[in-house]
């Protein structure tokens, strides 16, 4: 559960609580957050005239903090930047505010022109943050924290322009080298880390039929490059036209006169997709450029895959169960979609008023071509397995003599499995997945018809004229009238008398007896001569 506190500005240290998780006290009707691992987190909240902050909230001046009551950690820390006022038909007034976290402070400053050659990642990051701090108000300044992102040569070649600080970091560092911006709060101030990896593999597993309510898989091949035309540093020319594009170092001289490289396996799967990006501004040697280009193609993933999951957060009712946190890796278990691996939470959509059902964006997962093809095969295998279940069930219908309820329940399970598969599986007409589903659907429908044709038996009674069940009422009477006999002994009668039992025990058979032969001889004796 969460506390929402507004501050009139950076000097208002105590703030005003507008929502607490307890029955009494200030309440806010709506407060939803989008907490991102990459990018700027946002949230919205709504207040009414009874709120203690009504009429006092100012965009860009009022600050907001959302505190997790369980961990005492800041779930959101930022400022208000947008306002919408409204009145309903019943003359009910409200104000809805949009908020952005402290990383948005990097949009309040700009960089200045500079050319940086043979500079490390840490030093470039420190330079950019230093220029931001020189322009920013005290509460918007960051201390340079840990930098774990590296460049293979630890020697960057970058130009800085006049863009916003955040856009500069994104273009010059994040988009080219990867990594995450992480704000860290210490007693000595607010730190900004630039990390290669964040999060850890954590519990709980997000599992189908347990805490996974729904899952949507999104496959995006738009960033794929199958034919790369590498471009290195710009080549200085005598052309004085500064608006014209300058030529760049290429690979023709070390690649048999060819300006591009190809990935034949990716081309076979996805066709030719050409690109000249990324540019290698710091590479002046064609041989080095060719090596970097090959490394890029070898490390390139097949497609970008993300998952949108609606889940249940059981940590709210059981403190022993871990929370779902952005940046952490949680195992995803969904056998229908062939998912059984840890995937990072890239974004959490959370209702701070009722946080039981967070919406998760997982990824970005980028499988290699081999992994992509393996997942496609696993999905096909899952369809085949479901088909076998249907076939086996159809064969077993004719052998079942018990209650039809078991058959109907099993059929319903198969129908539900098919519906889940049909709504969540990515259909690919070219691979035949769609045709497989059509055939599977027909088999399930035929199975339903066979179930409907099964006779329904009711318990039989001995009352004459009552409906027959597994036998007629007359046979039921005969069965009920049968006596239960015990084994006969010399002292106690059973299936026959005690005296007959004594006589029978005196009979001794010293050789095999052919009863048919005895009957034939008796018959012959009875015939008149």
Question: Which band of pLDDT confidence, cut at 50, 70 and 90, is reported for residue 14?
Answer: very high
Mean pLDDT computed over every residue of the chain: 79
Which of 79-93, 176-190, 271-285, 503-517 has maximum average pLDDT? 176-190
- Among 28-42, 156-170, 194-208, name the one with the lowest average pLDDT: 194-208
pLDDT in tens, 61-73: 999 999 998 889 9
The predicted structure's pLDDT at residue 173: 94
Question: Which band of pLDDT confidence, cut at 50, 70 and 90, is reported for residue 367?
Answer: very low
Q: 418 is written with which tokens?
A: 């098919």
The predicted structure's pLDDT at residue 148: 96
pLDDT in tens, 470-489: 667 776 666 666 555 567 77
Q: 520 is written with which tokens?
A: 């034939």
- Among 40-49, 178-187, 274-283, 386-395, name the one with the lowest average pLDDT: 386-395
Whole-number Å distance between alpha carbons of 529 and 123: 131
Q: In 367-468, which residue ranges form alpha helices assigned H by DSSP?
A: 369-397, 404-424, 433-453
**Beta pairing partners, 158:** 116
Whole-number Å distance between alpha carbons of 449 and 526: 63
The predicted structure's pLDDT at residue 504: 67
- Tell me 174's DSSP state: I
**Beta pairing partners, 361:** 308, 347
Q: 363 is written with which tokens?
A: 């990824």
Question: Which band of pLDDT confidence, cut at 50, 70 and 90, is reported for residue 432?
Answer: very low
- Tell me 234's DSSP state: B
Question: Which band of pLDDT confidence, cut at 50, 70 and 90, is reported for residue 122?
Answer: very high
CB 48 within 8 A of CB 54: yes
Asked if pLDDT for residue 332 goes beyond 80, the answer is: yes
For residues 243-247, average pLDDT:
69
Share of residues in the chain with pLDDT > 90 (%): 34
Q: 456 is written with which tokens?
A: 């329904």
CB 182 within 8 A of CB 265: no
- Among 340-344, 361-365, 386-390, name the one with the lowest average pLDDT: 386-390
Cis peptide leading into residue 364 (ω within 30°): yes
The predicted structure's pLDDT at residue 430: 46
DSSP string, 110-164: B---EEEEEE-HHHHHHHHHHHHHHHS-GGG--EEEEE----TTS-EEEEE-S-B
Q: Is 491 helix (H, G, I), strand (E, B) or coil?
A: coil
CB 381 within 8 A of CB 331: no
Kindly report the number of other CB atoms within 10 A of residue 58's CB atom.
11
The predicted structure's pLDDT at residue 243: 52
Whole-number Å distance between alpha carbons of 352 and 266: 44
Which of 94-103, 284-293, 360-369, 471-480 has maximum average pLDDT? 94-103
Whole-number Å distance between alpha carbons of 482 and 496: 15
For residues 124-130, average pLDDT:
97
pLDDT in tens, 247-274: 899 999 999 999 999 988 888 877 898 9
Share of residues in the chain with pLDDT > 70 (%): 66
- Helices 404-424 and 433-453 pack at an angle, to 10 degrees, of 160
The predicted structure's pLDDT at residue 456: 58
The predicted structure's pLDDT at residue 357: 80
For residues 28-52, average pLDDT:
93
The predicted structure's pLDDT at residue 296: 83
The predicted structure's pLDDT at residue 213: 82
Question: Which band of pLDDT confidence, cut at 50, 70 and 90, is reported for residue 401?
Answer: very low
User: Which of 74, 82, 73, 83 is closest to 100 using CA atoms?
Assistant: 82
Asked if pLDDT for residue 211 goes beyond 80, the answer is: yes
Kindly report the number of other CB atoms within 10 A of residue 337's CB atom.
20
Phi, psi of 307 (to 5 degrees): -130, 130
Q: Which residue did the predictor score with more confidence, 333 or 412?
A: 333
For residues 416-438, average pLDDT:
54
C-alpha distance across the termini of the chain, in Å: 110
Q: 422 is written with which tokens?
A: 């049909």
User: Which of 426, 170, 430 is closest to 307 using CA atoms?
Assistant: 426
446: left (phi over 0), alpha (psi -120 to 50) or beta: alpha
Asked if pLDDT for residue 438 goes beyond 80, the answer is: no
Q: Render the burial of 343-355: b for 16+ CB within 10 Å, e for the rest.
A: bbbbbbebebbeb
Which of 42-51, 392-401, 404-413 has maximum average pLDDT? 42-51
Question: Which band of pLDDT confidence, cut at 50, 70 and 90, is reported for residue 7?
Answer: very high
Q: 134 is written with which tokens?
A: 């020189």
């Amino acid at each position: 559960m969460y506390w929402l506190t507004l501050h009139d500005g950076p000097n208002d240290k105590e703030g005003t609580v507008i929502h607490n998780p307890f029955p009494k006290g200030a309440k806010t009707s709506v407060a939803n957050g989008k907490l991102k691992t990459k990018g700027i987190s946002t949230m919205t909240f709504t207040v009414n005239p009874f709120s203690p902050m009504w009429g006092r909230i100012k965009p860009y001046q009022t600050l907001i903090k959302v505190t997790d009551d369980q961990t005492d950690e800041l779930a959101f820390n930022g400022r208000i930047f947008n306002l919408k006022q409204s009145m309903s038909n019943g003359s009910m007034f409200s104000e809805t505010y949009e908020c952005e976290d402290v990383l948005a402070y990097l949009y309040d400053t700009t960089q200045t022109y500079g050319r940086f050659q043979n500079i490390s990642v840490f030093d470039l990051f420190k330079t950019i943050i230093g220029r931001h701090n020189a322009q920013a108000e005290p509460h918007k300044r960051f201390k340079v924290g840990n930098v774990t992102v590296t460049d293979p040569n630890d020697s960057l070649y970058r130009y800085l322009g006049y863009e916003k600080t955040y856009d500069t970091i994104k273009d010059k560092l994040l988009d080219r080298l990867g990594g995450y911006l992480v704000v860290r709060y210490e007693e000595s101030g607010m730190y900004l880390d630039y990390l290669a990896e964040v999060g850890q593999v954590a519990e709980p597993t997000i599992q189908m039929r347990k805490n996974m309510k729904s899952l949507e898989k999104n496959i995006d091949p738009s960033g794929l490059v199958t034919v790369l035309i590498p471009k290195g540093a710009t080549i200085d020319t005598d052309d004085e036209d500064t608006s014209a594009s300058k030529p760049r170092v290429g690979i023709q001289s070390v690649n048999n006169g060819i300006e591009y490289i190809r990935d034949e396996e990716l081309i076979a799967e996805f066709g030719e997709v050409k690109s000249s990006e990324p540019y290698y501004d710091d590479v002046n040697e064609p041989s080095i450029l060719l090596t970097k280009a090959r490394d890029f193609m070898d490390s390139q993933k097949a497609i970008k895959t993300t998952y949108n999951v609606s889940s249940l957060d059981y940590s709210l009712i059981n403190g022993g169960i871990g929370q779902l946190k952005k940046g952490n890796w949680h195992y995803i278990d969904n056998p229908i979609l062939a998912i059984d691996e840890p995937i990072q939470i890239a974004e959490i959509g959370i209702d701070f008023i009722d946080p039981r059902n967070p919406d998760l964006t997982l990824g970005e997962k980028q499988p290699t071509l081999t992994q992509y093809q393996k997942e496609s095969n696993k999905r096909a295998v899952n369809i085949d397995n479901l088909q076998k279940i249907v076939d086996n069930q159809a064969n077993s219908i004719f052998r079942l003599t018990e209650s039809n309820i078991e058959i109907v329940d099993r059929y319903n399970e198969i129908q539900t499995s098919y519906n889940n598969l049909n709504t969540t599986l990515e259909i690919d007409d070219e691979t035949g997945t769609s045709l497989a589903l059509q055939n599977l659907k027909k088999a399930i429908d035929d199975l339903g018809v066979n179930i409907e044709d099964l006779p329904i038996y009711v318990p039989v009674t001995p009352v004459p004229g009552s409906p027959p069940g597994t036998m007629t009422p007359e046979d039921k009477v005969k069965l009920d009238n049968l006596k239960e006999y015990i084994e006969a002994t010399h002292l106690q009668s059973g299936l026959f008398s005690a005296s007959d039992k004594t006589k029978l025990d005196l009979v001794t058979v010293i050789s095999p007896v052919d009863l048919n032969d005895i009957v034939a001889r008796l018959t012959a004796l009875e015939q008149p001569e």
